[in-house]
Amino acid sequence: MANFPLVYFSVGVLALFPGVMPSVCFGQVAADSPRLSPLVKVIRNMESSAVALFVPTKGGLVSGTGTLIHPSGFVLTNNHVLPTNEGLALIGTDLPEHQKPEPFRVVGRLPEKDLAIVKLRSHGPFPAVPLGRSHDVMNGETVVVAGNPGGRGLVFTSGIISAKSVLSGAPNALVMTNYRDSRRDTYIQFDAASNGGNSGGGLINMDGQLIGVVWGGIRQEQNVGYAIPVDVVHQLIDEILEPEIRSGKWLGLQLKQDEFSAVVSHVVADSPAMEAGILSGDQLLAVNGQTLRHRVDWFLELSRLLAAGRPFGISLKRNEQAIDLTIRPIALKPEAASVDVNESELKPGLKFDFYHGHYSLVPNFDNVKPERSGVVATVDLNTMRQDRKDELAIRLQGYLKVPQDAVYRLIIQSDDGSKVSLNGRLVIDHDGNHHSLPRGKMLYLAKGLHALQIEYFEGNGAEDLQLLIESPAIRESLEKPITVPADMLWHREQAFEK
């Protein structure tokens, strides 16, 4: 018996007491019982908001974990536990035989940060875990991890924050003292037990707030788990969901990215937001009577409401005055192609300028002189750098030829820093010293030629530069992003206008 797996031992014990369940044998624990520790209370309060996720695939069943973060049924998880856009969820800790699987669909992904949000089919309301902040996480504070190890259902473990901020992909701490402009991702390290299937689960503090999304660990080391800080979700929720692009509806307002609450930073002229009377600086308080606790709630509500396409109410605060407005979404138009391009002047490939120098950020290329120039058919780093491996920079310019009006995801993968601009607008900022990482942006582009600029630098060590794309309009990219093909890259023979 000692060699039997735990699951068999458990079945054997239950067989000795047929029909006897703990809920039948025992009554409620007294409110003043020492068993009701702060840890137990935190788990009790959040266990009905933890979600076991299951995604059927051709190769089997992929399992992971998520956390309900909104009463309407939005669940925060990892992107890598969602190989397809649909699956089934079990909510809470009841035995599976007492549960009914809840269908879900993916409503947002940010693969480069391994974050995703799914929506349960039922409308709820569901119990949700409040989103906390991770900027003030303390080493040594107690945390709870909810997980679905091996797909066996939800379990809870506890531990402490071992390190409030750990660099991603860092070779060692001593080497990193040489980097002053590192833009590497950081993770929260914790020592609570976490196994396969826990990915996407919540890292919960003793205030019952979600402060991180469990991401992974190091199998060769004991008690080493990593979580994506929840502040990344607060900052990038618009990129995770992209509700306007996904729904094809437009409002014309932006929120401040560095604000916890939903504060308007910009209103586009002649937009539905301007017509509704919304101004920059307004704090959005509620949508259709649903309170907005923070900017995450705003984008979750948009994900739900824009899909319906109907007008909805907004309550806001302006100079301590409460105001109620109605906003009417309109159809989103694709970003227009460059209008001044004569295709007869175009040649295949992108022009590039190559620079020598020691950089820790992408330089201002207008202030430095290139060592040489040329043309590449695709974004091919080896061709451009030749035999130079370190201390270099490159600027590529030309046009991206879009085959049809559609949603595209443009991705730059680089080591070290890079930036991508389209039609004179910076769309991807992937600057700074870091190992090879992708960074992408979802775009709704019109058919035609779009002015493209890629800026890149390499400090030392490994190097990488790739431009990738995925879209329903590009058949080869349906399963995964592909390198932007040569027939999509063009340049003017004369000097590219700045």
- Reply yes or no on domain 33-120 having CATH 3.40.50.800: no
Q: How far is CA 417 from CA 27, 110, 336, 342, 377, in A?
A: 60, 19, 28, 32, 22
pLDDT over 60 at 388, yes or no: yes
Dihedral angle sign, alpha carbons of residues 370, 372, 374, 380:
negative
Phi-psi region of 308 (alpha: psi -120 to 50; beta: other; left: phi over 0): alpha
pLDDT mean across residues, the chain: 89
pLDDT per position as a tens digit, 292-319: 999 999 999 999 999 899 999 999 999 9
Residue 343 backbone dihedrals phi, psi, to 5 degrees: -60, -20
Residue 383 backbone dihedrals phi, psi, to 5 degrees: -65, -40
Q: Take residue 472 and report the two structure tokens written for it.
A: 């329903």
Cβ–Cβ < 8 Å for 428, 479: no
Q: Which pLDDT does position 178 carry in this prediction?
A: 66
Q: Label residue 170 by pLDDT band (50, 70, 90).
A: low
Cβ–Cβ < 8 Å for 182, 434: yes
The residues near 283 (Cβ < 8 Å, ≥ 6 apart) are 261, 262, 263, 264, 316, 317, 318
Q: Which pLDDT does position 339 carry in this prediction?
A: 76
Q: How far is CA 320 from CA 280, 283, 285, in A?
A: 14, 10, 12
Q: Label residue 99 by pLDDT band (50, 70, 90).
A: confident
Counting residues of the chain whose pLDDT is more than 90, the rounded percentage is 74
Q: How confident is the model over 42-46, as a mean pLDDT?
A: 94
Q: Take residue 410 and report the two structure tokens written for it.
A: 């443009």
What do you get for the CA distance between the two ends of the chain, in Å? 75
- Reply yes or no on domain 242-331 having CATH 2.30.42.10: yes
Candidate ranges 93-107, 110-124, 161-175; pick with highest mean pLDDT: 110-124
Question: 343-492, which class in CATH?
Answer: mainly beta
Q: Which pLDDT does position 177 carry in this prediction?
A: 65
The residues near 384 (Cβ < 8 Å, ≥ 6 apart) are 352, 354, 374, 376, 394
Range of lowest pLDDT (109-118, 163-172, 350-359, 428-437): 163-172
Q: Which pLDDT does position 465 carry in this prediction?
A: 98
- Helix ranges (H only) for 286-368 are 295-308
Domain ranges of the chain: 33-120, 242-331, 343-492
What residues form DSSP beta bridges with 225?
Answer: 190, 217
Distance CA 438, CA 469 (A): 11
Residue 131 CB neighbours (<10 A): 24
- Give the CA count within 13 Å in the CB-facing half-sphere of 238: 13
Q: Which pLDDT does position 34 carry in this prediction?
A: 87
pTM of the model: 0.88
pLDDT over 80 at 93, yes or no: no
